Structure 1
Amino acid sequence: MIPNDAYVASRLHRLGEWDAALAVLGPDTAPGLRAEIAVDRWFFRMQHHAEAERAVAALPVSPLAQLLTGRLAYSRLLFRRDARADDRAAAETAYCTAAEDGDEILSAWAEYHWAVLLDNIDEDAAGALPRYETALEVATKSGDGLFESYIIRHLAPHKEPAERLAMLRRSLHLRAALGARPQTIAAQALLAEYLSEGDPERAELLQIYRPGAEELHIAWLLSED
């Protein structure tokens, strides 16, 4: 059974209420969940990086710790926020270790994040696509809709226009159905980006997602306005 505090924190996490989620957890409650929430808060808000790094450093050596270490290194590169000379190598090493040592789901998440690193930082689609597909096979087999939504969001730009829009819409619908608010807002923004200028759906999505991004302080969406 999940302790009540961890359950409440998990629900708040999914809503993008990162500060409240962390406040619910005591200092010794669910350190893995605390680290995940802290890393997500940094990723979406670009705030409290030091706290996220401390939360990850407090974890025992494990595939989860490796995965979160890789995510921090990758995000510093992506956002160009205090990137370190070894971040590229550190991210890949962390993902490789997590993929080799984790259980099936965590290994698949590591494969996905490794693909994103190759795709977004190296612009190596040929290297990224097989890892996306490996992760997608696990996500669909396990029925993990949120995980699937992440993968197809990144696969979509590599597809032809009709399939691309279908994947982006599915990603959005999966996230909305699961109540993953920050991810839903991000999906609305990305779908709008790929729709034509005169498309009324695009105008509606732009109107819808911005207030949510402002409320949750999603830094990389607000910087695009």
Structure 2
Amino acid sequence: MLADATYVARRLFLLGEWDAALDVLGPDRDPELRAEIAVDRWFFRIEGHEEAGKAVAALDPDSWTAHLLTGRLAYSRLQFQRDPRPDDRAVAEAHYLAAVECGDELQRGWAEYHWGVLLDNVDDDAAGALARYETALEIATKFGDGFFESYIIRHLAHFKEPTERIALLRRSLHLRAALGARPQTIAAQAVLAEDLPENDPDRAELIRTFRPGAEELRIGWLVSQN
């Protein structure tokens, strides 16, 4: 029964059905997955921060998952400007470093990626971010992890010339769609639409496509743009 509940929760998680996924798990099953879902819901909906924090606090503080999610919560408060704390920048980097050091190779790649996002979006440190992204991409490619790759190349795209940038954003979108990752696919449609020229017919179609999905899933930073 535990395996079944975890499987169903993961499938719901992939679809952006965060509340249903948490309900399936209940309060006691798979605390690491529960924390991951709660943090992901916060990132997409920009709601449920307190619940996400409690879920992370319930983990072994020395675990890779606890370090990564603690870093992500600190980063998100800065990026979203939602009650940022004075030490959030330092906390995020410290926990990403700890996640790099305590995880396996693929986990280290995810920590490198998130560290790159911090450098990119908070510090405007393009060189530092690019080095982290490239390290993460090497690991994602080695493991054939298309979902992970879709995250990295979506950020790497903005370091490239227009033609290559659009190609990377399209690949990110296609990877996510092929895996059935609905909230990530909607986000990728929005990012690609923003980067396409205004007279490109794909742009209008992408906007018509992503907006209803963003509203249904209540993706906060997309709904607010409509």
State TM-score, norm by structure 2: 0.98
| Conserved 8 A contact 2:2-2:29 | no
What SS class does the counterpart of residue 3 from structure 1 fall into?
A: helix
In the alignment, the residues of structure 2 paired with residue 142 and residue 10 of structure 1 have an alpha-carbon distance, to the nearest angstrom, of 20
Distance 1:2 1:177 in 2: 27
Match of 1:183 in 2: 184
1:141 is aligned to 142
Question: After the TM superposition, which of the residue ranges 2-11 and 32-41 deviates more from structure 2?
Answer: 2-11
CA contact (8 A) 2:197 2:203 kept: yes
Could you tell me the percent identity over the aligned residues?
Answer: 72
Deviation by residue 1:42-98 (Cα, 9 ceiling, x = unmatched)? 000011100000000000121110000000011111100011010001000000000
Distance in 2 (CA, whole Å) between partners of 1:163 and 1:134 is: 19
CA distance in 1, matches of 2:9, 2:140: 23
Q: 1:161 maps to what in 2?
A: 162
1:92 counterpart SS class: helix
* Residue 2 of structure 1, CA deviation: 7.2
Residue 18 (str. 1) matches residue 18 (str. 2):
yes
CA distance in 2 between partners of 1:201 and 1:159 (Å):
20
Alignment match, 1:173? 174
Partner residue in 1 for 2:123: 122
Matches for 1:81-100 after TM superposition, within 5 Å: 81-100=82-101
**Structure-2 separation of matches of 1:84 and 1:30:** 29
Question: After superposition, what is the alpha-carbon deviation per residue over 1:99-148, rounded to whole angstroms, capped at 9, x for unaligned?
Answer: 01111111110000000000011111100001101000110110110000
* Matched AA of 1:80: Q
Alpha-carbon distance in 2 for matches of 1:209, 1:176: 12
**Structure 2: gaps of 5 or more residues:** none
Amino acid of the residue matched to residue 204 of structure 1? E
Q: How far does the alpha carbon of each residue in 1:23-50 deviate from its partner, in whole angstroms, 9 at most, with x for none?
A: 0002221100000000000000011100
Deviation at 1:215, TM superposition (A): 0.2
1:106 alignment partner in structure 2: 107
Flag structure 1 segments of 5+ consecutive residues without an equivalent: none
Aligned to 1:50: 50
Distance, in Å, in 2 between the alignment partners of 1:49 and 1:42 is 6
2:72 maps to a residue whose letter is R
Q: Is residue 39 from structure 1 mapped to residue 33 from structure 2 by the alignment?
A: no
Q: Deviations over 1:154-200 (max 9, x none)?
A: 00011011110000000000000000000000000000000011111
Letter in 2 for 1:96: L
- The alignment partner of 1:110 has SS state of helix
Distance 1:188 1:35 in 2: 27
Taking only aligned residues, the RMSD between alpha carbons, in angstroms, comes to 1.0
Aligned residue for 1:4? Answer: 4
**Which residue matches 1:150?**
151
User: 4+ residue runs of structure 1 moved beyond 4 angstroms?
Assistant: none
Give 3-state SS (helix, strand or coil) of 2:56's partner.
Answer: helix
Question: May I ask how many residue pairs the two structures share in their alignment?
Answer: 225
